Each structure stands twice: as C-alpha cells, then as structure tokens.
Amino acid sequence: MWKENIKPALKEAKHSLHIIRQSPLTMIGIGIVLGFILIVIFAPSIAPYDPYEINPPGFLQPPNSQHFFGTDECGRDIFSRVVYGSRISLKAGFTITIIAILVGSTIGIVSAYAGGIVDDILMRIADIFLSFPWIVMAMAITAVLGRGITNAVIALSIVWWPIYARLIRSQALSIREMPYIEAIRALGAGKLRIIFIHVFPNCLAPVLVCASLDFGRTIMWCAALSFIGLGAQPPIPELGAMITIGSHYLRESWWYATFPGLMILIVVLGFNLLGDGLRDILDPNLRR
C-alpha cells in the first residue's frame, strides 16, 4: 500500500534527475561539492603531513613532489594545511548556515503568524541587518567578543538569520492563503498541525536553494573575517588566515597565498553551481 503512495514521489524524483543530467554545470557543481565533502571526511588519510608539524629548515619551499603545495614559513606542508583548513571552513560554514536556518525560520514563521506589530518590528529588524554591509556588523561583534573562530561563527550567524526569516515569512504568508490550506482547515486540522505538517514543508524549496548557496558563501565570509584577523588565529590552518600570512610572502613565495584561495574559489563555485541547479529543479515554472 505504501508503495502506491511513493509512486508519484518517485516519478518526480526521476524527473528531477533528468533535469540535473541535462545541465552539465549542475553536474560539475555536485561533483565539486561531493569531492570536497570526501576530502573533509577523509582528511587524515589524504593529508600526508600533520598540519601543525613545523620543520624550520624546510621553510618556504616551492611546490615539489614531497610538498604538492609547497611549505610555509615554518616549514609546514601547505597541502595538508589546506586539507585540514577545508575541514574547519566546512564545519564553520555548516554551523552558521544551520543556526541561521533554525533561528531564522522560527522567527519567520512566528512573524508570519503573529502578524501586526510583532511582524512589523521583527521584519524591520531583519531589514536593518540585511541591508547593512555585513562585514561592518561582523567586525563590530567580533571586536567585542574577541577573536577566534567560534566568535566569528557567532557573529556571522547573527548577521545571517534575517535572510531565512524573510524567506520563510514570505513563503509562509503566500502558502497560508492557498486554497489547500483552507481546505485542510475546513477539515478540522489544528493550527500547529497546519503549520508544521503543511505550511512549513512547502516553504522548504527556496530554503534548500538558499542553503546550498549559503554553504559556499559562509565559507567565503568566514575566510574573509579570518583574513582581516578576526577569525581563526595562527597556528590554526584556516584558509583565510593562510592567505593573510601568505600575502607577506607574495613576491617570493607565490604558492603560499595561491592554493588556499584556489580551494575557496573551487568550493564556493561548486556550491553556487549546486544551488543554481537546485533552483532550476525546484522552480515549478522551470520544471516543464
């Protein structure tokens, strides 16, 4: 019996796969993201050296067969540091996005359903956070909280939740007016049930798209904060921090700043391609 219920969902899933396959860029995006996640999970096996292990005599070596990305000023292998740095970036990025989704969605739904002045105030606050240059906010918050990657994550989460609050709120508002919600209400469903089982799942499509784009963006912004000096502190191998230090050796040791940045570029590109592809799949207008 449940097989019958699954059938239309399977058909849709198949159609989604078909659409994905038609877009080579999306496939590349998925490939990059999967590759990245694998690297992060298997970091200890992939990285040939300990990212913290210093080797003073072997400092600032150009890329060679022993050190694919060269070494830094303390003789540490940059390739291993990039691999472990990716781990840190991914963890940070995921955390920020998840917190933003959870906090933002809650506020968004509350705002949508409370309406009136509560809605007004919440959304005005969200607008202020959204339109203001994020970095200024993040700088102020981290300056007060102190440096370090945890505080950077907190600061960015604070800057990020309004995106999801606005997103969920507008989705919830438009879905609430849909005839099928009225129908369910007429059948006697309670408010909570309506919110969680019917309204919320239908809000998820744009959230998914936004989230996949955000995984990449948060990684980049976290790196930007570290670049300024506010995020991860040495000797943590965070990608942005490495670029900062590498910038001092720019002329002689080009590899130092190049490879961490290249990693960020590829990862963010992957998530952007994935997000765009998801948008094409999930937008009902573009499906047919």
Which one, 68 or 249, has the nearer CB to another protein? 249
- By the 10 Å C-beta count (0-12 exposed, 13-18 middle, 19+ buried), 37 is classed as middle
Q: What secondary structure does DSSP assign to 31-54, as a single string?
A: HHHHHHHHHHHTHHHH-SS-TT--
Which one, 168 or 273, has the nearer CB to another protein? 273
CB of residue 69 to another protein, shortest distance in Å: 14
Residues 107 and 168: their CA atoms lie apart, in Å, by 9
What count of other Cβ atoms lies within 10 Å of the Cβ of residue 127?
12
CB of residue 32 to another protein, shortest distance in Å: 10
Q: Which residue from 274, 273, 263, 159 is spatially nearest to 219, judged by alpha carbons?
A: 263
User: According to the binding rule CB under 8 A, does residue 278 interact with another protein?
Assistant: no
Hey, which residues between 14 and 73 contact another protein (CB under 8 A)? 25
Hey, which residues between 119 and 178 contact another protein (CB under 8 A)? 124-125, 127-128, 131-137, 139-144, 146
| Cis ω before 235 (30° cut-off from 0) | yes
Residues 125 and 130: their CA atoms lie apart, in Å, by 9
Partnered with residue 77 across adjacent β-strands are: 71
Q: Which of 229, 283, 286, 287 binds another protein (CB under 8 A)?
A: 229
Which one, 194 or 269, has the nearer CB to another protein? 269
Of 49-57, 76-84, 197-205, 241-249: span binding another protein (CB under 8 A): 241-249
User: According to the binding rule CB under 8 A, does residue 181 interact with another protein?
Assistant: no
CB of residue 154 to another protein, shortest distance in Å: 13
Which one, 123 or 195, has the nearer CB to another protein? 123
Residues 109 and 107: their CA atoms lie apart, in Å, by 6
Helix (H) or strand (E) run with residue 212 in it:
helix 200-228
Which one, 3 or 251, has the nearer CB to another protein? 251
C-beta separation of 234 from 241 below 8 A: yes
CB of residue 180 to another protein, shortest distance in Å: 29
Which one, 206 or 261, has the nearer CB to another protein? 261
C-beta separation of 181 from 194 below 8 A: yes
Q: Which of 195, 220, 241, 281 binds another protein (CB under 8 A)?
A: 220
At 58, the amino acid letter reads: G
The site for another protein, by CB under 8 A, has a size of 46
Q: Which of 22, 64, 233, 247 binds another protein (CB under 8 A)?
A: 247
C-beta separation of 254 from 239 below 8 A: no
* Residue 136, both tokens: 């200024």
Which one, 25 or 30, has the nearer CB to another protein? 25
Diameter of the chain measured on Cα atoms: 77
User: According to the binding rule CB under 8 A, does residue 243 interact with another protein?
Assistant: yes
Where does this chain bind another protein (CB under 8 A)? Answer: 25, 124-125, 127-128, 131-137, 139-144, 146, 216, 220, 223-224, 227-230, 240, 243, 246-247, 250-251, 254, 257-258, 260-262, 264-265, 268-269, 272-273, 276
